[in-house]
């Protein structure tokens, strides 16, 4: 089976999530009855605001020229303040779909995300979206992409994520133009953690990309950076529903559950290996983000031993796991008591924390 790992990147409101919805329908991952707008935006806040906040990794199956393809794609945020989510997603891919609104053209985050993909040496397929709009200028915007980004205008694929026009040609390009995963460098297992979320019932759910070896249910794994060990109790893929599997091999993405209850036991960018036969060298992780906006949060009770303070601390720990670009440290105010000073990549990050 052929494997293709790619991200969907673009400026905000250029149609990434809508295109992801259409790809799910075109590959029969969801039925017409199950389909809904922003299907991969699982957070209520994402649906309310109409933007993607967290990257979503999905695996679908597709048949091209009589051969089976496993398509692992990640829908990423477009807003500048969520750029760290994009860089993490690209690390787990070999290709990127660069979505450009055929009426708006190249914008700020179009350029930034293109540079991120180029830095990771990814194959880029430019997609001209929203060609169904009256103001669409696909030929003109294709020339703009060539002039501004240096990508041949002839490589652009015109589509309408709303109507489905051009989607079959886009799927062909994904299979034909994106490279497959590189050959494993060693027999020992190495998997890169590119995301993690906290679940009240299952503990920490880790999302990873396997580069070498295999992960199997029952394996005792080692987090190479932190030195902690766990036993895998569940492996699976988002199809987009969570679907359990017994094992995953090189080039595949998956989620992993291993009864990880302590939030400090997982670090995005760490390498997972097998405890009894560990890899000699970890995979390259992520450069730490630089916070630009800081804000102090205080509980309603000023006592450090109060329940409100502990609940706030627990919330900060969960947020730091779900968003590795977020930082916090304890502070004290004479007027407000004990609280936390939190660092964010931008004002939008801060706004969503306050709203949530």
Looking at 128, 153, 177, the residue that finishes a domain is 177
CATH of residue 302's domain is: 3.30.70.870
Is residue 58 domain-shared with residue 159, that is, in the same domain?
yes
Is residue 151 domain-shared with residue 215, that is, in the same domain?
no
Distance of CA 276 to the CA centre of its chain: 30
pLDDT mean across residues, the chain: 82
Q: Determine, yes or no, domain membership for 283.
A: no
Q: Determine, yes or no, domain membership for 148.
A: yes
- Answer yes or no: is pLDDT of 98 > 80: yes
Tens digit of pLDDT for each residue in 138-164? Answer: 999 999 999 999 999 999 999 999 999
Is residue 23 domain-shared with residue 132, that is, in the same domain?
yes
Q: Determine, yes or no, domain membership for 329.
A: yes
Q: Determine, yes or no, domain membership for 184.
A: no
Is residue 102 domain-shared with residue 228, that is, in the same domain?
no
- Answer yes or no: is pLDDT of 327 > 80: no
Cα 282 to Cα 56, 170, 223, 274, distances in angstroms:
24, 35, 10, 12
Is residue 304 domain-shared with residue 267, that is, in the same domain?
no
For the whole model, what pTM was predicted? 0.77
Of residues 143 and 295, the one with the higher pLDDT is 143
Question: Based on the number of CB atoms within 10 Å of its own CB, is 134 exposed (0-12), middle (13-18) or buried (19 or more)?
Answer: exposed
Closest CA to 82 of 355, 352, 310, 356: 352
Q: Determine, yes or no, domain membership for 288.
A: no
Is residue 158 domain-shared with residue 36, that is, in the same domain?
yes
Ordered strands of the 2-10 beta sheet: 56-64, 67-75, 2-10, 95-101, 123-129, 157-158
Looking at 225, 247, 274, the residue that finishes a domain is 274
Is residue 331 domain-shared with residue 245, that is, in the same domain?
no
Cα 113 to Cα 72, 193, 279, distances in angstroms:
19, 21, 32
Q: Determine, yes or no, domain membership for 287.
A: no
Is residue 20 domain-shared with residue 152, that is, in the same domain?
yes
Is residue 134 domain-shared with residue 219, that is, in the same domain?
no
76: pLDDT confidence band, cut at 50, 70 and 90? Answer: low
Q: Determine, yes or no, domain membership for 169.
A: yes
- For the chain, what is the domain count? 3
Contact status, residue 317 vs residue 327, Cβ threshold 8 Å: no
Average pLDDT estimate for 35-55? 46
63: pLDDT confidence band, cut at 50, 70 and 90? Answer: very high
Distance of CA 74 to the CA centre of its chain: 5
Residue 172: predicted pLDDT: 96
Tens digit of pLDDT for each residue in 78-88? Answer: 344 444 556 77
Is residue 214 domain-shared with residue 75, that is, in the same domain?
no
CATH of residue 229's domain is: 2.40.30.10
CATH of residue 106's domain is: 3.40.50.300
Q: How many CB atoms lie within 10 A of CB 18?
A: 20
Is residue 95 domain-shared with residue 127, that is, in the same domain?
yes
- Paired residues of 216 in beta bridges: 247
Contact status, residue 238 vs residue 255, Cβ threshold 8 Å: yes
Tens digit of pLDDT for each residue in 232-281? Answer: 999 999 888 889 999 999 999 999 999 998 767 888 788 999 999 999 99
- Judge if the upstream peptide bond of residue 5 is cis by omega within 30 degrees of 0: no
Contact status, residue 55 vs residue 73, Cβ threshold 8 Å: no
Is residue 342 domain-shared with residue 223, that is, in the same domain?
no
Domain with 109 in it: 2-177
């Amino acid at each position: 089976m052929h494997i293709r790992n790619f991200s969907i990147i673009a400026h905000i409101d250029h149609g990434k999530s809508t295109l992801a919805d259409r790809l799910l329908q075109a590959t029969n991952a969801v039925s017409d009855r199950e389909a809904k707008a922003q299907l991969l935006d699982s957070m209520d806040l994402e649906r309310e605001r109409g933007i993607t906040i967290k990257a979503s990794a999905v695996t679908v199956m597709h048949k091209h020229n009589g051969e089976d393809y496993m398509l692992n794609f990640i829908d990423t945020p477009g807003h500048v303040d969520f750029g760290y989510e994009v860089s993490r997603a690209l690390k787990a891919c070999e290709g990127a779909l660069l979505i450009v609104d055929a009426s708006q053209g190249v914008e700020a985050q179009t350029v930034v995300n293109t540079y991120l993909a180029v830095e990771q040496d990814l194959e880029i397929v430019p997609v001209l979206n929203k060609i169904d709009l009256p103001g669409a200028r696909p030929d003109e915007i294709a020339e703009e992409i060539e002039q501004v980004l240096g990508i041949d205008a002839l490589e652009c694929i015109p589509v309408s994520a709303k109507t489905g026009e051009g989607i079959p040609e886009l799927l062909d390009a994904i299979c034909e133009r994106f490279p497959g995963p590189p050959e494993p460098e060693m027999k020992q297992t190495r998997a890169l953690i590119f995301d993690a979320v906290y679940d009240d019932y299952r503990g920490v759910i880790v999302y990873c990309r396997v580069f070498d070896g295999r992960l199997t249910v029952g394996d005792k794994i080692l987090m190479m950076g932190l030195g902690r060990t766990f036993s895998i109790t569940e492996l699976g893929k988002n199809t987009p529903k969570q679907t359990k599997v017994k094992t995953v091999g090189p080039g595949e993405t998956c989620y992993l559950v291993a009864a990880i209850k302590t939030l400090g036991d997982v670090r995005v960018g760490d390498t997972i290996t097998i405890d009894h036969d560990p890899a000699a060298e970890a995979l390259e992780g992520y450069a730490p983000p630089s916070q630009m906006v800081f804000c102090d949060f205080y509980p309603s009770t000023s006592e450090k031993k109060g329940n409100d303070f502990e609940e706030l601390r627990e919330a900060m720990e969960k947020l730091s796991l779900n968003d590795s670009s977020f930082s916090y440290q304890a502070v004290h105010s004479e007027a407000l008591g004990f609280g936390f000073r939190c660092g964010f990549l931008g004002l939008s990050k801060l706004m969503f924390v306050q709203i949530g």
